[in-house]
A and B are shown apart, each in its own frame.
Chain A
Amino acid sequence: MEGMRLSLCELKNLARELRLDVLEMTTRAKSGHPSSCFSAVEILTVLYFGGILRYHPDDPWWEERDRFILSKGHAAPLLYAVLARAGFFPRERLWTLRSLGSPLQGHPVARILPGVEATTGSLGQGLSVGLGHALAARLRNVSYRVYVLLGDGECQEGQVWEAAMAASHFRVSNLTAIVDYNKFQETGPVAREMNLEPFRAKWEAFGFYVQEVDGHNIEALLEAFAALQKVVDRPSVLIAHTVKGKGVSFVEADYTFHGRALTEEEAKKAREEILCL
């Protein structure tokens, strides 16, 4: 099997399950960044289960696999939940998140767990690593695509733009950046803390093919990724408009949920809301 292609209905159900996994993992660990995970659930669901990424869970480092790099490493619980569902390791391991002796570190550490491609958590570094993988495909003459998920706040790091400049310079068309544009960073709204706009124009100026999408609309995401695979002359970026904390009303409404787990009480309410999605 190369990757997984589920139906629209199955993808929606899976997205709900993944939110519940993240909720349970972080509530049990009493720490983590659930709100940052929730905004990217549909993006990862479509990549891993909508037939976009090609991978073999029993041969996780297969040379021709498509790569997914979680540059916004604080969404690690989501990545782990996705990898477990994709069959990279048993789901029971999810509950060891952030505990002594577990490879499910608070932020991802490369290759200590099958499917974890890069060590991230210090923001800004993933796109460069992705570019390295993309260039290796060219040097080795194999074909795979590389997807890197960035936070919007993360795009304030200079290294992101160094990578963007280089990707465009080398005309690397097998590299796609995805920005989880949820409009919030740690201490407040991005527009207030350090504005990124005009954001689309920035990427265009750096030589990227830019597409924007509703990052919670599974059908739209499927179409967008399919369209980006046809770009052959330059790197691409998918600006995914998302909602931080998506699926849980009181988390969506309060950015100070960044970087904290829900209490048992809050988690119970959150669970009910997620089940109604």
Chain B
Amino acid sequence: MPVGEKAGLPRGKPLRDAFGEALLRICEQYPQVVVLDGDLGNSTKAETVRKAFPERFLNLGIAESNLVGVAVGLAFCGFIPFVVSFSSFLLCNAYDQIRLGVAMSRANVKLVGSHGGITLGKDGPTQMGIEDLALVGGLPTCTILIPCDAYSMYKALEQAVTHEGPFFIRSSRYAMPRVYEEGSSWEIGKANILREGKDLTIIACGLMVACALDAWAELQKEGIEARVVDLHTLRPLDRAMIVKAARETGAIVVAEEHLLHGGVGSNVARVVAESYPCPMRFVGLEDTYTDSADADELLEAYHLTSSDIVAKCKEVLEAKNVARKGNTISSSIPRS
């Protein structure tokens, strides 16, 4: 069953197509935007700009370190460069250039990492961005946005242009279902509650948002009320929303299309540990690279489906109940 169907979400277009369209709109509105490609414009869909504004589109070839360095120079001359490649090649090949040139220099460079996660599928692990959030998350100053549909992709790009400073935006090849209605509020650093619930909270980003909504529907049938939060901004992290989830629902599952190490889950866990410690479970890639296969097969094989989220939700609820009982017993012991 396609992702988003259980939740009744309308089918969406591949996120990269939404990115290409959004980038073009951004270029139409903001003349200071230039697009820098690493010979992947046809795959990332940055080529929409090449066709419409050839003079504002530079292909720097298959040379990511140079690509980022050039963007830094352009940014310091008043342009707003969007650097677009696969998230793996961009972050892994140009990490030090991003670290010094972009992050430490607080340059107004917007990095777009396409083909994030495992759902690029058959091209395999060498091309996948499964460490990208950990890598970019390791760079102070860089705002990190993880859109989950066409609407949020446009909002992400728009806000990246209107906010000064380094940005990383994750794009994907996967056709993500529509989560947001036109006109919905979507702001950097402000996670959105998509479904209300009191039993537990599912915090998700990217493709996992639609999976979480599917899980919400499944849980509802069983009388479990889950809150679903789209944590689309990894930095700055919406601490208040996380604390609220811990305090009000007392159990949290985090789902991400990324390695569990260093991704969204570990960031959320730190906030929970510091505020209202509560049982937590994590859906993501266990310490492994994947095979090359069809995207949906991979999601299933590596446990990134709504059923996997549901299973973790049940686990976390059980842990919550055990903890509650434990508390009641200990509080009923008479104090001497």
Contacts and interface: CB of A to CB of B under 8 A. Distances in A.
Interface stretch (B62-70, B71-79, B138-146, B280-288): B62-70
Nearest to B40: A186
A217 interface: no
Contacts, number: 100
A122 B62 CA distance: 10
Contact of B291 (A31, A101, A153): A101
A44 B52 CA distance: 41
B93 interface: yes
Given A100-B293, A153-B39, A105 B63 contact: no
B124 A106 contact: yes
Interface in B151-171: none
Interface stretch (A13-21, A154-162, A221-229, A234-242): A154-162
Which applies to chain A's interface (DSSP): helix, strand, loop or mixed? loop
Nearest to A100: B293
B307 interface: no
A153 B62 contact: yes
Nearest to B63: A156
Nearest to B123: A106
Interface stretch (B41-49, B193-201, B271-279, B325-333): B41-49
Interface in A105-153: 105-109, 119-124, 153
A109 B301 contact: no
B292 interface: yes
B292 A98 contact: yes
B297 A100 contact: yes
B65 A158 contact: yes
B207 to A, nearest CB: 19
A161 to B, nearest CB: 10
Contacts of B192: none
Nearest to A73: B126
A263 to B, nearest CB: 16
Contact of A31 (B62, B66, B88, B123): B123
Given A104-B292, A185-B62, 17 more contacts: A98-B293, A100-B297, A105-B292, A121-B124, A122-B92, A153-B61, A153-B62, A154-B62, A158-B65, A158-B66, A186-B39, A186-B43, A188-B59, A193-B39, A194-B60, A194-B63, A256-B42
- The 3 lowest CB-CB distance pairs between A and B, nearest first, are A194-B61, A121-B126, A106-B124
Interface of B: 37, 39-43, 47, 59-63, 65-66, 88-89, 92-93, 121-127, 291-294, 297-298, 301
Interface of A: 29-32, 73, 98-102, 104-109, 119-124, 153-154, 156-158, 185-188, 193-194, 256, 259
